[in-house]
Amino acid sequence: MKALVYHGPGQKSLDERPMPAVQAPGDAIVRITNTTICGTDLHILKGDVPTCEPGRVLGHEGVGIVESVGDAVSRFGPGDHVLISCITSCARCDYCRRGMYSHCADGGWILGNVIDGTQAEFVRIPHADSSLHAIPAGGDEEALVMLSDILPTGFECGVLNGKIAPGSTVAIVGAGPIGLATLLTAQFYSPSRIIMIDLDDNRLAVARKFGATDTLNSAQDDVANKVMSLTEGRGVDAAIEAVGIAATFELCAQIVAPGGVVANVGVHGAKADLHLEQLWSRNITITTRLVDTVSTPMLLKTVAAERLRPEQLVTHRFDLAHIIDAYDTFSRAAESQALKVIIKP
């Protein structure tokens, strides 16, 4: 089969790889019909994720059709259309029983990281019964790829960890796919103000279309002062970091109100300064999290009810033979105006 393989920092290629096979009774082999590229894949290519070693098939998002299953799989069978969770869960260990699937003793974020992932024609999914979701009949399978990772990530790591509440004020730093997913799901809780901050005017325009009340371009504006002006000098109740660099985390710490929350969503490959000399007395909370995907069943229901429209995030489509072009397009988002790219094997 064809698969996109990581060969070390800055190196990738579309290679021939052996077809995956069932290795454990709980495995399923899924034929990929739609997958995508995540900002985390770009972090891997930068060398920010040392657990991902050269030779790994990348990708942790997708939908597909079950080809075969191990003897212990009871919820799915050949021919079933499924959504692949970016997080693998055994559903039995202590962490899973606490809803912390990202720390599963025999799973977590392993796809496209420590085992081969979804940017391929076929993928092996361990613990299939608890790591796949049935796709409702008639579901838009391109759109549902957004529920593999970015929508639960934005919701769990940004909205829930940020403790967004009715009437609260929110700033989301980074209007890429994760930031926009956070914006879409934050509106479940009716905050009074959502300020989107980014360097890209196109993405800020998209954010306004998606429901942001205010947008600030950090290349042109004194963002910290503008946020203070918009919030009567208080700062925001929730400052959500959705980029993964030191400057954006430090900006969130600058603009959070006393008693507020800094919710980190981004993948960080380098240190960031924490100015406790400014923060020690302000009663703030700083949260970090890797998505657990506990919210995926709920998000599937909101999509089915047309309360959430993930298809808005799809801007480009490629076949697997042109996945290198897809990476180029996705990595040049400011020029290409890409949000999420769909790849069809």
At 136-190, the pLDDT tens digits run 888 899 999 999 999 999 999 999 999 999 999 999 999 999 999 999 999 999 9
CB-based contacts of 34, cutoff 8 Å, min separation 6: 62, 63, 64, 141, 142, 145, 342, 343, 344
Q: At what angle do helices 323-331 and 39-46 cross, to 10 degrees?
A: 90
Sheet with 236-241, side-by-side order of all strands: 214-217, 193-198, 169-173, 236-241, 256-264, 285-287
- Average model confidence (pLDDT) for the chain? 97
340 pLDDT band, cuts 50/70/90, is very high
C-alpha 172: how far from chain center: 15
Return all residues near 118 (Cβ < 8 A) that are at least 6 apart.
32, 35, 59, 60, 61, 62, 84, 111, 112
Asked if pLDDT for residue 221 goes beyond 90, the answer is no
Q: Look at residues 195, 81, 213 and name the one whose alpha carbon lies nearest to residue 134.
A: 81
Question: What region, left, alpha or beta, does residue 217 occupy, with left being phi > 0 and alpha being psi -120 to 50 degrees?
Answer: beta
Gyration radius from the chain CA atoms: 20
Nearest-angstrom CA–CA distance, 238 and 262:
6
CA distance 147 to 69: 23
Beta bridge partners of 217: 198
The region of weakest confidence among 40-49, 147-156, 292-301 is: 40-49
Alpha carbon distance 182, 113 (integer Å): 24
Assess whether pLDDT exceeds 90 at residue 110.
yes
Q: Is the pLDDT of residue 302 over 90?
A: yes
Half-sphere exposure of 242 (CA within 13 A, CB side): 34
Residue 286 has pLDDT above 90, yes or no: yes
Whether the full predicted model's pTM is greater than 0.85, yes or no, is yes
pLDDT for residue 58 is more than 90? yes
Burial 154-189 (b: 16+ CB within 10 A, else e): bbbbbbbbbebeeebbbbbbbbbbbbbbbbbbbbeb
